[in-house]
Structure 1
Amino acid sequence: MLAAAPVAAQTPPVIPAVREGAGADPRTSVAQPETTSQASGGYVRSVEPYLGPLGDPLGIRPVLKQRGVEYSLTYIADVLGNPSGGMRQGAIVEDRLNLRLNLDLNRIAGWEGATVHANAYFIHGTGLTRYYVGDLASTSVIEALPASRLYVLWFNQEFFDGKLGLRVGQQAADSEFFVSQTATLFVNSTFGWPTITGLNLPSGGPAYPLSTPAIRAKYEPGGGFSLQAGLYDGDPAGANRAGDDPEAQRLNRTGTNFRVHDPALIVAEAAYAYNTEKGSVALPGTVTLGGWQHFGRFDDLRRDALGLSLADPASTGVPRPRRGNAGLYAILDQTLLIEPDKDDEGLSVFLRASVSPTRSSLIAAYLDGGLAYKGLFPGREDDTLGVSAAYARLSDDARRADRDTILYTGTAMPRRRAETVIEATYQALIVPGVTVQPDAQYVIHPGGGIANPLDPNGRRLKNAAVLGVRATVQY
């Protein structure tokens, strides 16, 4: 990097061609990885040309594409283990097959500006977080209960030469909102749908592996600006409680509950992608501001309806109902360096910050960030190296509830405070569409510093080291 910096200063960088990145915004992160777990968005290279006659045995893919029908498959397999820390030590294998289908209704039926998109998941394996680590942020973004489920199914209509898009149907917020293009490299789930929304919203919110009926409007007036807002059913599983609980996934095993009667969730954001014009010599980036408002009722984390601590023996044991949950977030995705005479190699940084001050929030503040470099090593121009960190702070009411429990029971126990995740990863391209990705994570105070449920003495969960590898095939 240091050796390349003077050259980059003398030679104007080649700004990447404007194409769609993760989150369906203009790609401004030069280090967005070759393969990603994102359900949609971004440029996807396929392994098909490298499979010879087996790539398309019947020769139907180009014929279908010409007629407006496109399909793709993405297979992700993780082998992860925690040699130290967590609830106990162990290792797991998990995998996910993702089937996407896109229909261009203009080619199919002459319906201009209309598309249909469907996405289904076939999930297998055991989660390392659930059985071994016990952290708030799942160690893998694909961790979920085994199931075959419909993920999204929506219809999109564009107006005014594509400047306005209206989308109706089963949708997931994590593929369009709160997305950092650079962060899609990382394995831990918090760098996708962050812990602050995953734990504060009912059933984890409309995010992997659950989605919900919604209406989303996106307006792109030009100049790099975009505005979008989504109205979602506020509980994709009907679990009627905040947090990404596996029980919620059991209530909606196939993704076909199509719930529409729960209190609403609104998510909105504004983004500005700058320095994307052809001929620009400044480095591209994206600034995003957003927020959410849930209109349902939530349980107070500390007090009952009488105002007594839930740990007080005189308490009713029924939490006081609280109305609503809300939060704000900001994202910066910035390319710091573009390799001379290249448009898809270089260094990018991301930073995301969020607060949720409502009394129903388990996580009150969240911060993550990281660096990724694509093409750092000679001869490995399509490989991506990255380091990142995420910090999730528990709310004051959650910490006071722990203090109350210690006071009223007289039992010594850890008090929760915050969880920190540090990750380093390297995605190596084998052939276009196939990557292998060694990964290392270190979780400080898993669960925010809770007691180990498997320890009879109730000692705090030890910091956990997580090692593993991911393989991804895109077809």
Structure 2
Amino acid sequence: METQHHPLVVPELRGPSGGPDELLASEAQIEKEELEPWGGTLFGEWFHVLGPKQSVTGEYIYTGEVFNNAHGGIKTSGATAYRGNIDIVFSIDMNEAVGIEGGTFFIYGENNHGRSITTDYVGDYQTLSNLDADPFTQISEYWWMQEFGEGDVWFKIGKQDANADFCALDLAGDFVGSSFGVIPNVPMPTFPTPGMGIAGFARWSDSLLLKGGIYDGNPRGGTWGLNELGKYGHFAIFEAAWEPRFGAEGQLTGVYRFGAWRHSGEVEHVDGSGETRQGNHGFYMAFDQLVFREGNDPETDQGLGLFFQLGWAPEQYNEINRYYGCGLNYKGFFEGRDEDYIGLGWAYTQWGPTIHEISGHTYESVVELYYLCQLTDSIVLQPDFQFIANPGGVDARDCLAIGLRFEIAL
């Protein structure tokens, strides 16, 4: 299973596509973050702005979590596991560094360590933590981004995480469950194995962004992305993102993403016949919509947002035929806790009819509730509760997992 982890990097380091708080952010907040981008870090600007003409910016994040399987699943005895992840990110403004206007070079090193609660104790298909992976240390991404004109057209080339630009929800970015980050039947190169690729983006209008990418079809982790490049085909994806604004003052922002993908590699039919075919495909939708901003004030970043996901792939050669996800996210729900988030989400995977007839797999359903507490500008603490019905899809005991995640921005 591939999972996805979004490091807490400043949005500018990820490119013009923006960051996870984009929907709720007010104009005043955006301007403040542009003026003081390192205000939410432990050591401040001196630790992050480096190099000639201050052309190099860095971000350093430690994320840790402890989860316990309190009920059901594989076993509950000794079912507590710790996992941590270190993100080290550098972005170089190539205009300041060497005079290439509109150019940015990005490199991202990562260390992941600890034990898997999914593998050892729960047995869920969707993977309850988006940090879950075999321990590794690697250069996860390195790419060049080039903007043209006024920044309405740009491309990225190099080893990259496709989920940073495609099939990603803004309002689900703080959920721990993997499916809220990447739809489980979209086989894109993402954490923990990003891949070599090229992606292009064009802002067609103020409310429409078009994007497409082509990536290595089966990247290997722990490498520079060049090992066996293209040996197992390629993964291509296209997405159209509509970004409307509703309300009298346009205060209710939204993003509606419609995407399709194709993998050119050989795929085996799931009926056990051994028959194969060349190519796999599918489509997805991922919607974010802010439905309430406190006081209907476009200058506040507190309010309620809803999200929805759908993924489809042919049941003849994909284990998961359909996926559905939805949820809500509220910033500033409790009085005096304006920077805290509370979220409730549901993720549902459905095995295809052929798989069901052969092995009995049916569905797996996850309900997640979290509360993200902003302890200081640079430290967050996040209790998390997940109820997993039918983990693994075959008459397994329903599971309750309880966890606590923390993140420190150095």
| Structure 2 SS opposite 1:130 | helix
The answer to whether the Cα contact below 8 Å between 1:78 and 1:469 also exists between their aligned partners in 2 is: yes
Task: Report deviation, 1:255.
Answer: 5.0
1:190 corresponds in structure 2 to: 179
Render the CA deviation track for 1:327-375: whole Å, top value 9, x for unaligned: 1111210001111244211000000111112521110001101011000
Q: Which residue of 2 aligns with 1:245?
A: none
Alignment counterpart, residue 24 of structure 2, candidates 30, 53, 75 = 30
Residues 46, 461 of structure 1: alpha-carbon distance in 2 compared, 3 angstrom cutoff:
farther
Q: Name the residue aligned to 1:294.
A: 263
Match 1:206 to one of 189, 193, 200: 189
Q: Which residue of 2 aligns with 1:91?
A: 80
Q: Distance in 2 between matches of 1:442 and 1:188?
A: 11
For residues 207 and 119 of structure 1, what CA distance do their matches in structure 2 show?
A: 13
Query: Unaligned regions of 5+ residues in structure 1, if any?
Result: 1-18, 33-42, 238-251, 305-318, 403-414, 450-459
Task: Give the match's secondary structure for 2:398.
Answer: strand
Matched, 1:364 2:321: yes
Matched with 1:77 is 64
Q: How many residues align?
A: 384
Counterpart of 1:337 (choices 277, 292, 302) is 292
CA contact (8 A) 1:119 1:153 kept: yes
TM-score (norm 2): 0.88
Structure 2: tracts of 5 or more residues without a match: 1-10, 27-35
- Write the letter of the residue equivalent to 2:329: A
Contact 1:28 1:285 in 2 (8 A): no
Q: Does 2:277 match 1:322?
A: yes
Displacement of 1:44? 7.0
Is 1:221–2:201 an aligned residue pair? no
SS in 1 for 2:270: strand
- Determine if contact 1:31/1:374 at 8 Å carries over to the other structure: no
Q: C-alpha separation between the residues in 2 aligned to 1:225 and 1:182?
A: 19
- Does structure 2 conserve the Cα–Cα contact (< 8 Å) formed by 1:23 and 1:181? no
Letter in 1 for 2:72: G
Map of 1:110 onto structure 2: 99
Alignment CA distance shift 1:144-1:392 (3 Å) = same
The offset of 1:65, in angstroms, is: 8.1
The yes-or-no answer on 1:101 pairing with 2:36 is: no
SS across alignment from 1:438? strand
| C-alpha distance in 2 between matches for 1:72 and 1:171 | 17
Aligned-partner residue type, residue 331 of structure 1: A
Match of 2:5 in 1: none
Letter of the structure 2 residue corresponding to residue 422 of structure 1: V
Distance 1:364 1:210 in 2: 23
The separation in 2 between residues aligned to 1:191 and 1:70, in whole angstroms, is: 29
What RMSD over aligned residues (CA atoms) do the two structures have, in Å?
Answer: 2.4
* TM-score when normalising by structure 1: 0.76
**Residue 78 to residue 60, structure 1, CA distance change in 2 (3 Å):** closer
Give the match's secondary structure for 1:196.
coil
CA contact (8 A) 1:163 1:219 kept: yes
Q: Which of 240, 251, 259 is the equivalent residue of 1:270?
A: 240
**Which has the larger Rg?**
1
Moved over 6 A (4+): 19-23
Separation of aligned partners in 2, 1:428 and 1:230? 36
Which has the higher mean CA deviation after the structures are superposed, 157-166 or 181-190?
157-166
1:468 corresponds in structure 2 to 403
Q: Which amino acid aligns with 1:206?
A: P
Contact 1:28 1:334 in 2 (8 A): no
1:193, CA displacement in angstroms? 1.2
Query: Kindly tell me: are residues 379 and 275 of structure 1, through their superposed partners in 2, closer, same or farther at Cα, counting changes over 3 Å?
Result: same
Q: Which has the higher contact order (CA 8 A, sep 6+)?
A: 1
Q: Which amino acid aligns with 1:385?
A: I
In structure 2, distance between residues paired with 1:44 and 1:320: 54
Amino acid across the alignment from 1:117: F
Partner residue in 1 for 2:346: 389
The one-letter code sitting in structure 2 at the alignment partner of 1:112 is: E
After the TM superposition, which residues 50-199 of structure 1 pair with which residues of structure 2 at under 5 Å, given as runs? 51=43, 59=46, 61-64=48-51, 66-89=53-76, 90-197=79-186
Task: Note if contact 2:196-2:226 (Cα within 8 Å) is conserved in structure 1.
Answer: no
Distance 2:18 2:372 in 1: 23
Q: Give 1:221 deviation, angstroms.
A: 2.7
SS of the residue aligned with 1:401?
A: helix
Q: Deviations over 1:131-186 (max 9, x none)?
A: 11111111110111111011111011111221111211001111111111011110
Letter in 1 for 2:150: D
* Equivalent residue number for residue 311 of structure 1: none
Matched, 1:416 2:361: yes
Q: Which letter does structure 1 place at the counterpart of 2:390?
A: H
1:45/1:474 contact within 8 Å kept: no
Identity, in percent, stands at: 26
The correspondence of residues 424-463 of structure 1 with structure 2, limited to 5 A, is 424-449=369-394, 460-463=395-398
Task: Give the 3-state SS of the residue equivalent to 2:120 in structure 1.
Answer: helix
